A = this chain, B = another copy of it.
Amino acid sequence: MSLTEEMTALAKRARLASRRLASLSTADKNDSLMAMAEAIEANTQRIREENAKDMAAGAESGLAKPMLDRLLLDGPRIEGMATGLREVAALADPVGRVIEERTRPNGLKLSKVAAPIGVIVIIYESRPNVTADAASLCFKSGNATILRGGKEALHSNQAIAKIMVESAAKALPAFPADAIQVVPTTDRAAIPELLSLTNEVDLCIPRGGESLIRAVAECSRVPVIKHYKGVCHVYVDSAAELAMAEEVAFNSKVHRPGVCNAAETLLVDRAIAAEAMPRLAKRLAGAGVALRGDEPTRSLLNGSGIDVTPATETDWDEEYLDLVLSVKVVDGVGGAIEHINTHGSGHTEAIVTGDAAAAKRFQVEVDSSTIFWNASTRFTDGGQFGMGAEIGISTDKIGARGPMGLEELTSYKWLGVADGLVRQ
């Protein structure tokens, strides 16, 4: 069987499974998830054995230590997968939710109801626990999943998926075994093959570094929901309370610098820069943040004892994921909006101000998924949003935008009810 035939057959099985998933009850899905959680725990040894094969092969092929660490499945991580499955079982079923209802003058009752998307391909890198997370979220939202993890994690991923499917089928005879499938080959050509199957695959969600996501978006013929990077901004307006600005900027940058919702650029209103900049810079530098400033920032901090490297043009587009921050003086809220819409990645921005009109303008005109007024950028997160779980954060505008939980893994249908109504 050629790779094309193999991927087509796999995707067709997923499509058929997705038809059955659409009709499972909430209780059926939750029972399956609870059975999966129990089986993951009961099969800890088996998972560790399969993972050991991946770890050995990884070590032999010279995988770097951080990669090996991400690949490892130890007791706590396996337990974490089981806990995650139970948490997904406890979440509300997103399918069947009535989004909107209307009755037309002719008596036609219309409702817009959340429905599964269908078949979702998840492409991810080395962490094998993503297998359980992603598959469980897709399953709870009524979607069949095709999982394509890193080639170095194939044994681990296959073992996890197999345990999930076997235990669910035992708990629920109606469970379609092809609801969760791992691409059985590490051939890279499998990805473009899968993503050309527009009749069988409804969506692809790539999770990982920017180059992976770009490669997937470039080859895909099916819709892709991407999360490229988070070049997040904090703008301190002239009407900001400076103590608050300091806290928000500090938290946005320093709380967890290695994640996508951490701030990468601080924008300070020219009108208050002389007072605000030294104060903000001192607080940030005190936590070990390396500053890269534009010319006005550097003059304002000249002689303050705070080191500021000159920012280059590429700094404004950079996702440092580290204790590094670019800093710029802008002309009011208009200047901040202009800078963000030019250099931002559409992820998350924050304005600190006491001026409601400035905040409103910022929230209306900035073209990003999430825009905070007097809050840290770090709140863009499925858990913080009350979604309970998160499969990613979309920087796209078609389909889901911002944090993606269960509801964001659904599409919708229009259902109409009447009593023999015909069009005049």
Contacts and interface: CB of A to CB of B under 8 A. Distances in A.
Interface in A362-390: 363-365, 367-376, 378-380, 384-386
B419 A374 contact: yes
A210 interface: no
Interface string A175-209: 00000000000000000000000100011000000
Contacts of A397: 117-118, 202-203, 411
- The main secondary structure of chain A at its interface with chain B is mixed
A315 interface: no
A423 B202 contact: no
Given A225-B398, A248-B420, A418-B373, A367 B108 contact: no
B422 A251 contact: yes
Interface in A242-272: 243-244, 247-248, 250-251, 255
Q: Give the interface residue-count category, chain A.
A: 35 or more
Q: Which one of A223, A370, A414, A421 has the greatest number of beta carbons of chain B within 10 Å?
A: A414
A182 B75 CA distance: 61
Nearest to A95: B364
Given A365-B19, A371-B413, A420 B241 contact: yes
Contacts of A412: 401
A110 interface: yes
Q: Which one of A251, A359, A363 has the greatest number of beta carbons of chain B within 10 Å?
A: A363
Contact of A414 (B110, B385, B419): B385
B371 A414 contact: yes
A334 to B, nearest CB: 10
Nearest to A363: B415
Interface string A397-420: 111011100000001111111111
A183 B30 CA distance: 52
A392 B352 CA distance: 41
A56 B404 CA distance: 53
B399 A398 contact: yes
Interface of A: 19, 22-23, 96, 102, 104, 108, 110, 115, 117-118, 198, 202-203, 217-218, 221, 223, 225, 241, 243-244, 247-248, 250-251, 255, 341, 352, 359, 361, 363-365, 367-376, 378-380, 384-386, 396-399, 401-403, 411-423
10 contacts: A117-B398, A202-B398, A223-B223, A241-B420, A247-B422, A371-B416, A375-B420, A375-B421, A376-B422, A401-B412
